[in-house]
């Protein structure tokens, strides 16, 4: 019987060989699979949540737009070694059979084939379409900035910063309104801890020419 690490590596190896046909490579530092296409990095990441018997595997899909991320890190304050790890849009994937967040138990050797098939199904039926959609910066803008007063933006700094960046890049007519809204939201997060960083971003964007 395989141990936990062997189960994980077996799963990733099988998926990696399968996804090669779509141009994806196994990126071991992410426990996932990536593909570079022009200014975008497509990421199909597997989060392995440790359990006593093995892992619970949760697939996540994301797109890193280099233009957005390069601007973000002009003022992010992140150490340089972390710059390449940030994502512009990211989303958990729902299992179509349950309409709930995909979570798959990987406890024993006999679980591998079943989990592989489920993760392959999500990759081909959902992730590839997601990558195609969010390869367009206009769709990233819509995802972050349409209905921008939604509660999901209320306590997260990343969407505020990146929403403002992409609004600048696509030259949104309501940019000033978005700036005011996101400033208010960032001010509410951790008693304004991230506000100086956000103010630096605002100042940078005022001088930026798309």
In order along its 210 residues, the chain shows pLDDT tens digits of: 679 899 999 999 999 999 999 999 999 888 999 999 999 999 999 999 999 889 999 999 999 999 999 999 999 988 999 999 999 999 999 988 887 899 999 999 999 999 999 999 999 999 999 999 999 999 999 999 997 555 344 446 788 999 999 999 999 999 999 999 999 999 988 899 999 999 999 999 999 988
Do 159 and 144 meet the contact criterion of CB atoms below 8 Å apart? Answer: yes
- Return the pLDDT at 29: 85
- Return the pLDDT at 155: 43
- Return the pLDDT at 99: 79
- Return the pLDDT at 12: 97
Supply the pTM of this predicted model: 0.92
- Return the pLDDT at 97: 85
- For residues 65 and 86, give the distance between their C-alpha atoms in angstroms, rounded to a whole number: 10
Q: Is 52 exposed, middle or buried (0-12, 13-18, 19+ CB in 10 A)?
A: exposed
Domain boundaries, the chain: 4-134, 144-207
- For residues 45 and 32, give the distance between their C-alpha atoms in angstroms, rounded to a whole number: 4
- For residues 60 and 84, give the distance between their C-alpha atoms in angstroms, rounded to a whole number: 17
Distances (CA, A) of 14 to 17, 26, 36, 110, 180: 5, 10, 21, 14, 48
């Amino acid at each position: 019987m395989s141990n936990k690490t062997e189960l994980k590596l077996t799963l990733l190896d099988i998926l990696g060989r399968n996804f090669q046909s779509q141009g994806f490579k196994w990126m071991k530092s992410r426990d996932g699979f990536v593909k570079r296409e022009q200014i975008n990095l497509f990421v199909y990441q597997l989060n392995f949540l440790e359990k006593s018997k093995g892992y619970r595997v949760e697939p996540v899909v994301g797109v890193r737009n280099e233009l957005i991320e390069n601007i973000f890190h002009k003022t992010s304050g992140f150490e340089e070694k972390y710059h390449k790890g940030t994502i512009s849009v990211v989303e958990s994937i729902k299992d179509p059979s349950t309409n709930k967040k995909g979570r798959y138990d990987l406890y024993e050797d006999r679980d591998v084939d079943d989990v592989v098939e489920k993760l392959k199904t999500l990759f081909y039926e959902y992730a590839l379409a997601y990558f195609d959609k969010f390869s367009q910066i206009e769709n990233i803008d819509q995802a972050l900035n349409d209905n921008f007063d939604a509660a999901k933006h209320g306590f997260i700094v990343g969407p505020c910063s990146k929403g403002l960046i992409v609004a600048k890049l696509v030259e949104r007519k309501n940019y000033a309104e978005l700036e005011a809204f996101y400033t208010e939201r960032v001010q509410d997060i951790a008693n304004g801890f991230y506000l100086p960083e956000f103010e630096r971003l605002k100042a940078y964007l005022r001088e930026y020419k798309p």
